[in-house]
Chain A
């Protein structure tokens, strides 16, 4: 029956149901990924950020919150220029991180 309204989808992240395996795989390949402090330097300096919404910070957070599609979309905008790696205060190898994440996405095509 159509009442003219329906349940609104919840935007909440439920960590009980969030699969962290992609994040764990990424951290195995690039351990510095764990040390991100969410400062946003990477996104602030990113060539693609302002025009495409790419953000390494959001990519890293997104795979810890199960937002795989959003992450995939962002990854496709990276130009691997390496500026983000230069500015990261925690020394996260963001360029390698993105490459590895792209590989992980490539390996598990359709599953994420």
Chain B
């Protein structure tokens, strides 16, 4: 692997990310999958870095899931997107940052489609006006939330309490980065580092002390694929893709997988359980799985936030081996306590996959 070759490509795919004043739109599913992730994005950008990140309770889904499942037509999806833009415009913002990769892709796709077909944009404006009497400006900049954390990776590294380094050996942790398909495969120039060798996550991992693994199936989709997962009879296709990735990354003994999409971390995490039950196989050390984190959760760990406040107990694969390697302190007895210090119920243990 010639690292300078990648750096050359990265230099060609650096997008402009404004420093401040963002209108934030959340994901539909991340708050239940990874409840601490979005909260800590706001905590890091607002409280720690002092940025102006605005959000409103009036925003809805971007329609991406329905759009990608073919249950709503494109014009409907675009009208939903137009409404988000209207909320942004009304709040006085020009920069839109999306928590979800599919939303990010959806916003980019909508804006690009309007650029090519201005008559469609005019029609959507009409739809939106008829539906809710709103008007909008197209955002000046659209970013994914991981773009912002990438931009601020240096500041985060400066404030780091822990590093992506094995405390016992001093070796950098081996990081698998997995990029959501809709981040840059549709529009390579809208992703940091492009589509073939994105550096939005690898840049974070390296800035925080880790070593990024480039394994043969790195670019492969996690397998979520919307319809592949949502129809139970098709779930084997979804899992087979994830399985392919695990088989490919296994020889590199990754310490953690980081992701920037709502679906990928969920499936990379949960399928490890299903694969262990059906195939009897686990991919981490000593019968554990490979912990799968969102980039916000990883940033949170690096900055020293409590793992249980970050919501890491909501992961299927136990994160404790990673915490131990990084030297992050945690209280095992508090893993399943809620904010009010009361038990939030403990999950049952899998038969094969070792969990704490």
State the CA gap A30–B234 with chains docked (Å). 45
B interface: dominant SS? helix
- Determine, out of A3-11, A32-40, A90-98, the stretch whose residues face the partner at the interface: A3-11
A15 at the interface (CB under 8 A from B): no
Q: Tell me if B277 and A1 are in contact (CB < 8 A).
A: yes
Interface string of B245-283 (1 = CB under 8 A from A): 000000000000000000000000000001101110000
Q: Tell me if A8 and B277 are in contact (CB < 8 A).
A: no
Q: Tell me if A8 and B278 are in contact (CB < 8 A).
A: no
Q: How many residues of A contact B (CB 8 A)?
A: 8
A interface: dominant SS? loop
State the CA gap A106–B335 with chains docked (Å). 64
Which residues from chain B contact A5 at a C-beta distance below 8 Å? Answer: 232-236, 239
Interface string of B229-244 (1 = CB under 8 A from A): 0001111110110011
- Once A6-B278, A7-B278, A7-B279 are accepted as A-B contacts, the answer to whether A1 and B351 lie under 8 Å apart by CB is yes
State the CA gap A4–B243 with chains docked (Å). 17
Which residues from chain A contact B234 at a C-beta distance below 8 Å? Answer: 5
Residue of A whose beta carbon sits closest to that of B274: A3
State the CA gap A102–B306 with chains docked (Å). 69
Which residues from chain A contact B244 at a C-beta distance below 8 Å? Answer: 10
Q: Tell me if B243 and A3 are in contact (CB < 8 A).
A: no
| A 1-24 contacts with B by CB, 8 A | 1, 3-8, 10
Q: Tell me if A7 and B239 are in contact (CB < 8 A).
A: yes
Q: Between A and B, how many residue pairs show CB distances below 8 Å?
A: 31
Q: Tell me if A7 and B277 are in contact (CB < 8 A).
A: no
Which of A4, A8, A10 is close to B232, meaning CB atoms less than 8 Å apart?
A: A4
Q: Tell me if B240 and A8 are in contact (CB < 8 A).
A: yes
Which residues from chain A contact B237 at a C-beta distance below 8 Å? Answer: 8
State the CA gap A7–B232 with chains docked (Å). 13
State the CA gap A4–B232 with chains docked (Å). 7
Q: Tell me if B240 and A3 are in contact (CB < 8 A).
A: no
- Once A8-B240, A10-B240 are accepted as A-B contacts, the answer to whether A3 and B235 lie under 8 Å apart by CB is yes
Within the complex, the shortest CB–CB distance from A10 to chain B, in Å, comes to: 7
State the CA gap A58–B241 with chains docked (Å). 28
Residue of A whose beta carbon sits closest to that of B232: A4
State the CA gap A3–B279 with chains docked (Å). 12
Which residues from chain B contact A1 at a C-beta distance below 8 Å? Answer: 277-278, 351
| B 215-237 contacts with A by CB, 8 A | 232-237
Q: Tell me if A3 and B233 are in contact (CB < 8 A).
A: no
Which residues from chain A contact B240 at a C-beta distance below 8 Å? Answer: 7-8, 10
Within the complex, the shortest CB–CB distance from A19 to chain B, in Å, comes to: 21
Which residues from chain A contact B235 at a C-beta distance below 8 Å? Answer: 3-5
Which residues from chain A contact B278 at a C-beta distance below 8 Å? Answer: 1, 3, 6-7
State the CA gap A1–B276 with chains docked (Å). 10
A-B contact pairs, 18 of them (CB 8 A): A1-B277, A3-B274, A3-B277, A3-B278, A4-B232, A5-B232, A5-B233, A5-B234, A6-B236, A7-B236, A7-B240, A7-B275, A7-B278, A7-B279, A8-B236, A8-B237, A8-B240, A10-B244
State the B residues within 8 Å of A (CB): 232-237, 239-240, 243-244, 274-275, 277-279, 351
State the A residues within 8 Å of B (CB): 1, 3-8, 10
Extra pairs beyond A1-B351, A4-B235, A6-B236 (20, CB < 8 Å): A1-B277, A1-B278, A3-B235, A3-B274, A4-B232, A5-B232, A5-B234, A5-B236, A5-B239, A6-B239, A7-B236, A7-B240, A7-B243, A7-B275, A7-B279, A8-B236, A8-B237, A8-B240, A10-B240, A10-B244
A-B CB proximity, top 4 nearest: A5-B235, A1-B277, A5-B236, A8-B240
